[in-house]
């Protein structure tokens, strides 16, 4: 019988002593590896690093000043254009305005990322200089990631003296959101309160009407009148001056080039803390959710197994980095007179030390158009006017000047044609190549490819290494030419990739892509993607009631919520009452996850009620249940288009007003309170 007392084992022989010594030596050897001996070489990464990356690192060692006033003085700049941008639109407009201010008035302009400078140094900008703020608002009145430090400053600093600051401001927003252009309004109010002088009224763009470009042009026209009439700036003859040099580097080898790899590094701390690195993720499974043969909705499951540094939580987003379709690449190459086989290396360098060349370099023209520039983006009326100076013939020049100068003519053409850069060049000059159009102008004019974000529709508790997304494939017919369509860049790329992994193997509209990616990086059904943290989260207590409202693919995060709660109930947790409102166009064709929802409703055994709202089928109100659950402390979630979310909030707010006899002030106080407590959360777009 074993003794109940455990004693220490003592060595009884020389062999025992030697064995114990050997064990101790091996343990010490293992534990000190990498600390005392076999230290990793801190420069080993250079063996695998491209030469241009070492050049970038060397430049980074020369730390740039974060004092904006000092920066302006050092580089002889008399105007600073601050930008706050989430998707790249405000940044693009700021760069365009900076170039035009220089070309039209000879002004020396610094286009400044707000996250690159300490906001308190704005107070040091002398009165002789001008500041322009171009800032976007997204979500529920939120500032862009790169505006976070500035936003904190204007909210938390007290007694900031800005008597010397003269400024103008332009905001980008969407009136479908409840807090339309809140960021620029708050910024202007704060600057005015600190004693700054606005040189013209704040102007705003409204993307709900698709009017951002025209709103910007109208504001810019007023801005230039102020420049001339109030500030006495003389207008000079406009002559194109490139911001970047593009040089052929035929001596470089393929190994030294960027071939489309995404070497993106998050520019500011907030983005770095919320976004994972970009990785090539394998598509594990893809499933068609629509019954209709005319439309597609994909459920795509991705595999994180090869990337131990990637993790997500229920409610987070997954960003997909798209590539351009072959057809659009060929169209632009044809217009420029460049062969697809032209792989001559080029180097892109900034001609202004204050301007960062964000295009990976060296690369090739074909790679540039395939992976780094949004060549499928519509061309603005202003861009058409600017293209006229490079026209290959007087006829083409006259056509572009007429089209760009007539808003109605341009708008009408948009209803019948999809005006990308390649298409407008061929439309204006179908028989002559644009040999005088500098590649630098293409780089300056086209936005860089940005990722598209999708709500993750899986639960991290149930599927920690297999996040899934749900995406409707965008195909928008032109108003006056319904046989022509504008194809959503990312969703059609995903459809082509999804089909390549199945028996169909082709895109329904014949779109093709270089699906294996740069240097075969994406071979085997992979995409470049990263994860982004979200605040759209389940309550900590499973017993908290939930109200969920989703339209179309807005159902995605709620599938994650419901499957996670079902798992909690399965292991014995008390789960609160749940009410899900789901809407789509047609219950026969568009009711995604119908089978799964019906099964969840059965498993929850009365804890979950699903209320469908189909646009083509009459429904009934459940506002009484909603108000009851709100009073019981429910969390309220809305996911879908911003205008839908706005209508839902309005309906619930009006019902609360009537029920409680509130006035506007009381209703607004209640609304702010539940949002501040995260009892009302939204994940909305467009």
pLDDT of residue 504: 76
> Does position 501 have pLDDT exceeding 50, yes or no?
yes
> Does position 44 have pLDDT exceeding 50, yes or no?
no
Please, where are the H alpha helices in 83-206?
89-105, 148-156, 182-193
pLDDT of residue 42: 37
> Does position 551 have pLDDT exceeding 70, yes or no?
yes
CATH 3.40.50.360 fits 68-229, yes or no: yes
Residue 107's pLDDT band (boundaries 50, 70, 90)? Answer: very high
pLDDT of residue 443: 93
pLDDT of residue 592: 95
Residue 300, SS3?
A: strand
What is the residue-wise DSSP string for 536-586? ----S-TTS-EEEEEEGGGGHHHHHHHHHHHHHHHTT-----EEEEEEES-
> Does position 2 have pLDDT exceeding 70, yes or no?
no
What is the pLDDT averaged over residues 479-502? 94
Specify the residue for token string 């076999």: 38
| pLDDT tens per residue across span 313-372 | 999 999 999 999 999 999 999 999 998 877 889 999 999 998 888 889 999 999 999 999
Closest CA to 589 of 624, 619, 617, 564: 617
pLDDT of residue 43: 36
Spans of all domains in the chain: 68-229, 241-534, 546-685
Residue 268's pLDDT band (boundaries 50, 70, 90)? Answer: low
What is the pLDDT averaged over residues 596-614? 93
pLDDT of residue 255: 87
Closest CA to 270 of 179, 150, 158, 358: 150
CATH 3.40.50.80 fits 546-685, yes or no: yes
What is the pLDDT averaged over residues 602-629? 83
| pLDDT tens per residue across span 395-434 | 999 999 999 999 999 999 999 999 999 999 999 999 999 9
Q: Which residues are bridge partners to 475 per DSSP?
A: 487
pLDDT of residue 209: 81
- Gap between the Cα atoms of 400 and 390, Å rounded: 10
In this structure, the number of other CB atoms found within 10 A of the CB of residue 128 comes to 9
Residue 272's pLDDT band (boundaries 50, 70, 90)? Answer: confident
pLDDT of residue 118: 96
Mean pLDDT across the chain:
89
Residue 627, SS3?
A: helix
- Gap between the Cα atoms of 506 and 265, Å rounded: 34
Both tokens of residue 206?
Answer: 């409204």
Task: Tell me whether strands 680-685 and 526-532 are parallel, antiparallel or unpaired.
Answer: unpaired
pLDDT of residue 553: 95
- Gap between the Cα atoms of 275 and 561, Å rounded: 21
User: Which CATH architecture fits 241-534?
Assistant: Up-down Bundle (1.20)
pLDDT of residue 463: 97
pLDDT of residue 408: 95
Q: What is the pTM of this model?
A: 0.86
How many Cα atoms sit within 13 Å of 53 on the Cβ side?
15
Number of H helices, E strands in the chain: 21, 23
pLDDT of residue 282: 98
> Among residues of the chain, what percentage have pLDDT more than 70?
88
| pLDDT tens per residue across span 108-166 | 999 999 999 999 999 999 999 999 999 999 877 889 989 999 999 999 988 889 999 99
Catalogue the E-assigned strands of 312-387.
317-321, 345-350, 363-364
Residue 505's pLDDT band (boundaries 50, 70, 90)? Answer: confident
> Does position 224 have pLDDT exceeding 80, yes or no?
yes
- Gap between the Cα atoms of 349 and 247, Å rounded: 8
Sign of CA dihedral 230, 236, 237, 242: negative
Q: What is the DSSP letter of 306?
A: T
Residue 35's pLDDT band (boundaries 50, 70, 90)? Answer: very low
> Does position 48 have pLDDT exceeding 70, yes or no?
no
pLDDT of residue 618: 54
Q: Could you check whether 68-229 and 546-685 share the same CATH topology?
A: yes
What is the pLDDT averaged over residues 287-291? 92
What is the pLDDT averaged over residues 203-218? 92
What is the residue-wise DSSP string for 446-483? SPBP--EEEEB-S-TTT-TT--EEEEEPPEEEETTEEE
Residue 446's pLDDT band (boundaries 50, 70, 90)? Answer: very high
What is the pLDDT averaged over residues 304-314? 97
Specify the residue for token string 């109030």: 230
| pLDDT tens per residue across span 632-654 | 999 999 999 988 998 999 999 99
More confident residue, 16 or 544: 544
Query: Which range among 41-50, 141-150, 507-516, 560-569 shows the weakest confidence by mean pLDDT?
Result: 41-50
> Does position 16 have pLDDT exceeding 70, yes or no?
no
More confident residue, 176 or 316: 316
> Does position 11 have pLDDT exceeding 70, yes or no?
no
pLDDT of residue 357: 85
| pLDDT tens per residue across span 245-261 | 999 998 998 889 999 98
pLDDT of residue 138: 84
- Gap between the Cα atoms of 612 and 599, Å rounded: 15
In this structure, the number of other CB atoms found within 10 A of the CB of residue 261 comes to 19
Please, where are the H alpha helices in 64-181?
68-74, 89-105, 148-156
> Does position 616 have pLDDT exceeding 60, yes or no?
no
Specify the residue for token string 């420049």: 227
Query: Using an 8 Å Cβ cutoff, are 125 and 164 in contact?
Result: yes
| pLDDT tens per residue across span 486-497 | 999 999 999 999
Residue 292's pLDDT band (boundaries 50, 70, 90)? Answer: confident
What is the pLDDT averaged over residues 66-91? 95
């Amino acid at each position: 019988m074993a003794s109940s007392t455990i004693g220490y084992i003592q060595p009884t022989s020389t062999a025992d002593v030697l064995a114990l010594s050997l064990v101790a030596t091996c343990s010490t050897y293992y534990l000190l590896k990498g600390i005392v001996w076999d230290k990793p070489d801190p420069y080993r990464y250079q063996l695998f690093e491209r030469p241009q990356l070492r050049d970038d690192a060397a430049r980074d060692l020369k730390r740039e000043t974060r004092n904006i006033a000092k920066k302006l003085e050092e580089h002889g700049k008399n105007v600073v254009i601050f930008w706050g941008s989430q998707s790249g639109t405000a940044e693009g407009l700021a760069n365009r305005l900076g170039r035009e201010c220089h070309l039209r008035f000879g002004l020396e302009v610094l286009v400044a990322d707000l996250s690159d400078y300490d906001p308190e140094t704005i107070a040091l900008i002398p009165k002789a200089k001008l500041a322009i703020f171009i800032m976007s608002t997204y979500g529920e009145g939120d500032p862009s990631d790169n505006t976070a430090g500035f936003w904190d400053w204007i909210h938390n600093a007290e007694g900031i003296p800005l008597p010397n600051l003269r400024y103008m401001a332009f905001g980008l927003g969407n009136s479908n959101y409840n807090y339309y252009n809140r960021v620029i309004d708050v910024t202007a109010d704060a600057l005015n309160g600190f004693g700054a002088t606005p040189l013209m009224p704040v102007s705003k763009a409204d993307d709900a009407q698709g009017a951002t470009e025209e709103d910007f042009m109208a504001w810019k026209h007023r801005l230039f009148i102020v420049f001339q009439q109030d500030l006495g700036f003389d207008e000079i003859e406009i002559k194109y001056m490139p911001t970047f040099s593009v040089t052929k580097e035929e001596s470089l080898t393929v190994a030294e080039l960027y071939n489309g790899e995404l070497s993106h590094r998050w520019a500011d701390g907030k983005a770095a803390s919320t976004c994972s690195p970009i990785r090539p993720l394998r598509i594990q499974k893809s499933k068609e959710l629509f019954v209709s043969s005319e439309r597609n909705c994909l459920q795509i499951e991705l595999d994180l197994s090869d990337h131990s540094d990637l993790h997500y939580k229920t409610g987070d987003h997954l960003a997909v980095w798209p590539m351009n379709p072959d057809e659009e690449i060929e169209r632009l190459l044809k217009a420029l007179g460049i062969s697809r086989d032209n792989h001559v290396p080029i180097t892109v360098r900034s001609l202004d030390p204050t301007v960062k060349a964000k295009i990976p370099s060296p690369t090739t023209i074909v790679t540039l158009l395939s992976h780094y520039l949004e060549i499928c983006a519509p061309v603005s009326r202003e861009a058409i006017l600017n293209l006229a100076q490079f026209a290959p013939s007087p006829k083409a020049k006259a056509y572009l000047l007429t089209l760009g100068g007539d808003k109605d003519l341009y708008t009408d053409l948009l209803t019948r044609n999809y005006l990308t850069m390649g298409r407008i060049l061929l439309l204006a000059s179908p028989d002559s190549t644009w040999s005088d159009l500098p590649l630098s102008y293409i780089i300056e004019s086209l936005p860089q490819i940005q990722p598209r974000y999708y709500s993750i529709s899986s639960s991290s508790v149930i599927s920690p290494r297999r996040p899934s997304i749900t995406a409707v494939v965008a195909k928008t017919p032109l108003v006056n030419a319904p046989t022509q369509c504008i194809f959503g860049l990312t969703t059609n790329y995903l459809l082509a990739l999804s089909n390549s992994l199945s028996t169909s193997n082709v895109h329904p509209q014949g779109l093709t892509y270089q699906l294996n990616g740069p240097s075969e990086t994406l071979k085997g059904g992979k995409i470049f993607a990263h994860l982004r943290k979200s605040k759209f989260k389940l309550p900590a207590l499973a017993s908290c009631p939930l109200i969920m409202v989703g339209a179309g693919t807005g159902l995605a995060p709620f599938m994650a919520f419901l499957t996670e709660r079902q798992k909690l109930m399965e292991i014995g947790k008390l789960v609160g009452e749940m009410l899900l409102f789901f809407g789509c166009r047609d219950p026969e064709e568009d009711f995604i996850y119908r089978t799964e929802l019906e099964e969840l409703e059965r498993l929850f055994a009365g804890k979950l009620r699903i209320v469908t709202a189909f646009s083509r089928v009459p429904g009934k109100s459940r506002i009484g249940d909603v108000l009851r659950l709100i009073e019981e402390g429910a969390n309220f979630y809305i996911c879908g288009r911003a205008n839908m979310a706005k209508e839902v909030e309005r309906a619930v707010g009006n019902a609360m007003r009537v029920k409680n006899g509130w006035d506007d002030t009381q209703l607004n106080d209640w609304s702010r309170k539940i949002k501040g407590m995260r009892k009302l959360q939204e994940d909305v777009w467009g």
